[in-house]
A and B are shown apart, each in its own frame.
Chain A
Amino acid sequence: MAGTALAPGKVRVKTTSAMRGHRSRIALVNAVPVTVFLLVLFVYPIIGVLSLSLKGDNGAFTLHWYADALSGANLSVLVSTLRISAETAVLSLLVGFVLAHAIARMRPVFAALAMLIVVVPHFISALVRTYGWIIMLGEHGLINSLATSVHLPGAPYSLLYNETGVVIGTTSVMLPYTVLVLQGVMRGVDGRLLAAAAGFGASRFTIFTRIYLPLVAPGIGTAGLLSFILCLGYYITPALMGGDKQTVVAALIDQQVMKQDQWNSAAAFGVILLLLTFAGLGVLGLAKLRRKKTAARRSSS
């Protein structure tokens, strides 16, 4: 990371304790703007959501909105959000794994080109990409005209305005994350381990399941959870590519605020999403901590 303009080695000008004090003062001053900004416009509003979700019409404490959110039609929206997120996580893991694995073994030029195609869409408005999918997946879209022209059984397929469409759309949105994470772990795999196993007569399948997969497992976990979490609050694709039945929590919140003036109920849904996200992040954090501990134990023994 550091530039190589000067001689190698970490020869630093000695920092006296006075200088160190000065540095932490400067750091404190510089940390103020972002901290204040995020406390006022991020943390405080979210606390506002939390308190609204616990307030009844008369202002008294109530869990009514949560009971409401976790029953009947509302519960089924929550369940379908979780299902869509899980499906997206699995699909983007599978597709991401195949792609990352292929990229890892490509020649550098092709690998760079492939990464470009993966990463560039991430910076293009999700609305626009979703629109592209709508054009492509429609009844007379590219996919279906291709499928009918080669007489695939069952064509044309209904790929739009149902859960299939939503999951295809969200998967393409999450794919840059999964590919980047998986690529990171795949690059770290020591090829000599695989070659050694082959030298002892292990079959390709055994090498893959017993050596390669365990080595990249942490990345698989992170990538899957990350796309699950990011999918939970996703709105654009389900709203535009889903049918009437594919309401997700984010769409419900939007509806309740914009059309029905049910802010309390929307807030309760927001808090539920928040808690689910925290749970996912907690699992990620714990896994990371455990990996660190095992690594420390291994290096000390």
Chain B
Amino acid sequence: MMELPATRAGHVGRALSATAILLFLAMPIVIILVTSFGTDGIGTFPPEHYSTRWYEQMAAPGGNWATSIALSSLVASLTTVFSLVLGVTAATALARGRLPLHAAVYGLVLAPMLIPQVVIALGLFLFFEPAGMLGSPLAIALGHTVLAAPIAILIMISTLKGIDERLEDAAASMGAGRMTIARRITFPLATPGLIAAAVFSFITSFDEFFIAQFLSTPDTRTLPVLVFNALQFDVDPTVTAVSAVLIALAILALALVALVRKLGGHRNQQGGVLPVEPLT
């Protein structure tokens, strides 16, 4: 590409400002990771002494933290199952078929990503409260699926669009049945996308705060609800270790998705994870 020749000052200025901004973005995360190993928890930075004390506290069986981690895992697993089912079916409809009212269904799918979450949470609260389902892991998982399913669907749409339909047509022309094609051709090619959809559904639910807050009771609090309370009301240094674990989990998840995509021969597409592309 032809460009204006860069001036030295412009070059240095750009590099400096970019570095400063990137440092600003990365620092909060680095600080948590380091602080979580400090003996005095939320004290000075960098900590004077290091220990794994807060991690032990977090994992203590029967404690608040361990209970909420178990609950969050259950909710996130349910959410993953629900949103994969919705993701695969909806993406098949939207990416492949000639769907009547395509735009309407697509709009409906995108809407939960753009509507304020507090409104969704309030609506779900009013929906589940009369049914006496507040605090039920199923209710929280169904609520989380409202947010996770659109992400899974967008990922599956971009996956299915990336698969050459002529492969399926070729198999069909050689007499393969619909099920055989799905099992032998589409499914293996879509596996990286499926894994990405599962991973993002899981962490969407595992990190979700607002819906969980509205649907929880004092006995059933997911991890983010507990973290929020710890940050807002009582300063429990264990929260730093929990935060570090959440960071590690997110990075592991992203690494897994990147690895699977690489093995699947995909080029580093961030396709469909942020609702940015459909809007521009």
> Chain A: residues with CB nearer than 8 A to chain B?
1-3, 5-6, 11-13, 20, 23-24, 26-35, 37-39, 41-46, 48-49, 52, 95, 98-99, 101-103, 105-106, 112, 114, 117-136, 140-142, 172, 175-177, 180-181, 184-185, 191-192, 194-195, 198, 204, 207, 218-219, 222, 226, 229-230, 232-236, 239-240, 249-250, 253-254, 257-258, 263, 266-267, 270-271, 273-274, 277, 281, 284, 288
Neighbouring B residues of A284 by C-beta, 8 Å? 279
A184 partner residues in chain B, CB cutoff 8 A: 276-277, 280
Contact in complex: A24, B100 (CB < 8 Å): yes
**A128 with B227, Cβ < 8 A, contacts A24-B100, A28-B99 known:** yes
Task: Judge whether B26 and A117 touch: CB under 8 Å.
Answer: yes
Report if B35 contacts A (CB, 8 A).
Answer: yes
Q: Which of B119, B167, B203 has the most CB of A within 10 A?
A: B119
> Besides the contacts A13-B172, A124-B207, what 6 more A-B pairs have beta carbons closer than 8 Å?
A23-B96, A122-B274, A127-B209, A181-B280, A234-B116, A240-B231
Other-chain contact of A34, B90, B115, B116 (Cβ < 8 Å): B90
Residues of A within 8 A of B14 (CB): 98, 101-102, 105
Q: Which B residues are closer than 8 A to A by beta carbons?
A: 1-4, 6-7, 14-15, 17-18, 21-22, 24-29, 31-32, 35, 42, 44-45, 82, 85-86, 89-90, 92-94, 96-100, 105, 108-109, 111-112, 114-120, 122-127, 142-143, 145-146, 149, 153, 161-167, 169-170, 172-173, 200, 203, 207, 209-210, 213-214, 224, 227-228, 231-232, 239-240, 243, 246-247, 250-251, 253-254, 268, 270, 274, 276-277, 279-280
- The residue in chain B whose Cβ has the minimal distance to the Cβ of A208 is B4
Q: Would A105 and B90 count as touching, CB distance under 8 A? A: no
Query: Separation in Å of the A23 CB from the closest CB of chain B?
Result: 5
**Chain A hits for B99, CB < 8 A:** 24, 27-28, 31
Determine how close the nearest CB of chain B comes to the CB of A19; give it in whole angstroms.
10
Whole-angstrom distance between the alpha carbons of A76 and B214 in the complex? 24
Query: Do residues A240 and B127 form an inter-chain contact, with CB atoms below 8 A?
Result: no
Can you offer 17 A-B residue contacts whose CB atoms are under 8 A? Answer: A12-B166, A28-B97, A31-B89, A31-B93, A38-B112, A42-B108, A42-B146, A44-B127, A127-B207, A128-B32, A128-B246, A136-B27, A191-B3, A232-B116, A236-B210, A267-B122, A273-B116
Q: Is the CB of A236 within 8 A of B209?
A: yes
- Contact B92–A27 (Cβ < 8 Å): yes
Residues in B whose Cβ lies below 8 Å from that of A27? 92-94, 96-99
With A and B bound together, what is the CA distance between A204 and B13 in angstroms?
15
B118, A273: Cβ atoms under 8 Å? yes
The 9 A-B pairs at the shortest CB distance, nearest first, are namely A27-B97, A233-B116, A132-B28, A45-B123, A102-B18, A30-B93, A31-B93, A34-B90, A125-B207
A267-B120 Cα distance, complex, nearest whole Å: 11
Q: Give the complex CA separation of A48 and B126 in angstroms.
A: 7
Beta-carbon contact of A142 and B279 below 8 Å: no
Known: A30-B97, A191-B2, A219-B280. A132 touches B123 (CB 8 A): no
Residues of B within 8 A of A24 (CB): 97-100
